[in-house]
Structure 1
Amino acid sequence: MAAQDGLDLGSLSASQQEALQQYTDVTGQEIGDAIPLLQRSQWNVQFAIAKFFDGEGPDVVAQAQAAHDSIPRATARHENLQEALIDDAFLPPTRRPQTEPAPRVVPQPSALYRTPLLISLLLAPFRVGYKLLAGVFRSILYFLTFLPQSLRPGFVASSLSKGLRQTNGRRVTLPKETAQRFRRDFEEEYGECSLPFFEDGHAQALDAAKKDLKFLLTVLLSPEHDDTESFVRETLLSPEVVSFINDPSNNVIVWGGNVLDSEAYQVAREYSCVKYPFSCVVCLTPKEGSTRMGIVKRLVGPMTPESYLAGIQGAITRYGPDLNGARSERAAQEMARNLRSQQDSAYERSLAVDRERARQKREAAAAAAAAEKRALEEAEAAAQLQEQRQRWREWRATTVLPEPDAGAEDVVRLAVNMPASSGAGRVIRRFTKDTTLEELYAFVECYDLLQDRPSGGSTSKPDGYEHKYGFRIASVMPRETFEPSISATVGEKMGRGGNLVVEDVLMDEEE
């Protein structure tokens, strides 16, 4: 293919030449300007058309490619020899994950359920009997507590511990109310709280950490433990620990609970807590599962602020690169989704533009076809009307009364000035005084035919045709217009003679 405007069109592939042809047919743009725009649109005709009409904004394809190239890759985790040996010896990677899974604890709302009144009345006798038996049984257990530990039955210890946990006098509430109560009790005991405790249930805190790719620090306290107060005042509320947790760049969510509450007690059981105060760091472990939350660090028992902070920082340092990689990959995926959405929107806009143009073309073609059809129908109707008019004139020319003789009586002599379009000039003719004005109009209408052939032909009147004269006859002095009446005669209107003039009248198009 020959070069055009310095561009070698022969170097384009068949699909590119087809795209160029489609683009130029729609936009009418010069080839020299169309090819660079198509190249910037990756030879996508729809995108190129949208850029041509809507303006060329940012290149979404280039942005998507740049976003894909700029995805940070997860930094490799560095382990020392001791950690590697421990992992190889106890946690085979092909058999089980390296971190303990973090369960999602949802407290059961069974304690919040209220029995209907009717059922309560039916079960009231059984409830009274149960309370009496339970009272007797607790009394027996109370006396058995005086026995040495070695002589107590196993069920006594378990029943006592269970009774102590369940009869602490704390009302079972919803997780959000429990979190608010824990914060109030914490502030009443240790002063104003400077830690951002999560004000909802542990399951919601775990979901927030998983969604936002943050670390969840779970703190479980037991007021009955001797080291709880010193741990909170000296370690948990130490300036360095509070500053580290409140730093947004560390991405730490703190959830605290009192094991006397039902939810915190369930969390302690699920997380295998055997010593208080208890803390653990939980985060998403992408290398062990895209949706798996794992316990990456346990901090059990009293410890110094330095040791406590070092344990948290070590877990964050070790698993932070994995979360950063997952966070960057998620951001890149979100950007790619947004770019695809923008591309789809641009494609839909271009399709809407094409549909609108196609609709306008169809409407214009339909209007042109309707106008052409209407003009054709009008032309056919005009031709048919003209044909019927000519047939009527030929028929009417045969019925026009002949001119009376010069010596006849009761004759009206009229001088008629024919219209300039007929070319007849001034015609003088005699009419009987009984000649109607309609007969006079017929004489003027058929004057040319009366000159060409004699009357008495065999032409018949066309059916359904009503003739209308395209002129009017008027007298000169005085000015009076005469209508083609079949009752009025020339003798009544003009007497013995007169001068008449024929004037053309523009007929209405519908007529």
Structure 2
Amino acid sequence: MNHVNLTPSQRQTLTQYLSIVQSSDTQEALAILESTHWNLETALISHYETTPHANDRLNLISNSTSSQRNAVNDNVPSQAEASTFPGGFPGMSSSNIEREAINPAANNTTRSFSDVIQRYLPFLSSIDITSNIRNSDFATLETQSKVIYIIQWIIYVPVLITYQVSSILFVILVKCFPIIRRLAQNRLGRKSEPTGLNPVQTANEFISSFQRYYDRTGELDWFEGGYSNALYVAKRDARFLLCYLHSAEHDDADEFVKEILLNEQFKLLLKEHNVLLWAGDVEKSEGYQASNALEIMKYPSLVLLSLKTSTQETPSGTTTSSPKLSVVSRIQGLIPTEKVIRRLKTQIDKLQPTLITIRTERQQAELSRMIRQQQDQAYQESLAKDQARETAKQEELLKQQRKKGWLEWKLSQMKPECTTPGQFSRIAVRLPSGARIQRCFSKNEETLEDIYTWVELNLQELIAGNEPLQAIDSNVSGPAGSIEYQFGFNLNSIMPRVKIDCDATVPIGQCNGVSPNGNLVVEMLYQ
């Protein structure tokens, strides 16, 4: 059969079949539809080759709906209307037809389960609760089903009522107290805020943002640090601390900044009294913690802190407590600029003398401490000098004792004056005092050091010329350990002027300046 000669109902069935099986072979589709007498369900079964059980099930569905299908086919809509329902049935798509045709048993099982859910679990249904079960349906339920249904309602109704009442109360509280919503938002913001941020970095970010949007000239001198650092600086320097708590979500934030913070009188007041200005964003953890510590309930806010002292009468007299940083003024929300300046100026003028007194006392205490430190330092330096002087004196005394012991030992070891003709050198020495001494030294047995030792003994007045001035102890032992005696003079020959070295290894006979005879003069090194 040519598809041109088809009736409108057959053409519609062909279109539905081709769309479901997703095929463009019209001749094959016409052959299958003609063999099934233009029954769409039977044609689909023939196409998909389902199991015999599925075929039997679908035949039952087809027979039960054949009369309805014929009625629909007799009233097939026009081509324009048919385009509205691609599957050919209002409210039924091609995918639904395919699903019902392929597995009707599973579809019926799903429908029966849905009916059970609708009947026994009313709170899962989107339909009105009163329409879930009619009285006639409830009466037909089994006793066990009735018990289950009643238990569900006993559990469901209180929960539903509690939820509805709680929701209504929360909405009322949020409307009446906006602070609850802001606190919840701030808490959520703190949870999402990354941890480990540096307070200095947070302060710099706020200052940069503030100067970019409000104060491009940077006239406000913000403290670049955290809240705890600002408290420490205010205590240390005895300064007023003004904390500004900013909330970008508040409607009055922009107007508060422009009308108050950027006011010329306000900036002049801060500059005249050297007020430390710190700011915190309540959406950040630093600002939120400062807000809680300062007990702020409305934003934006200004809080003035200052050191205060308190007096107390005691049996021993009036005592003054140590200065403590306290809140002296809170300005919460947008109020007239003149009122803000007046309140701040009143507290500043009231507490300024206290801060001046505290600073003066601290300066005096610091000055006293520095004076004591300088005195202690001078005492320690003087003590160190005295100790060094005493140590040097002891060392010098020990050195002199060792020198004297060495000279006494050399005196005891000094050989007699040589008188063997041709074996001695006659040495004459002029002392610094002008005296002239003379001695004959063995050319081969005595060295140049012996000449220096002889002159040193005369200078130290242990001998006069060659005669000892005190008894010589022959049992004097040599100095413990090695000692290098430092002579404080040089011996020079007169003509020509040549220095005679002090050498313990050179015999006198080998030195031209003193052999066979020598005329020397003493040149002192240390005057």
TM-score by length of 2: 0.42
> Higher relative contact order by CA 8 Å / sep ≥ 6: 1 or 2?
1
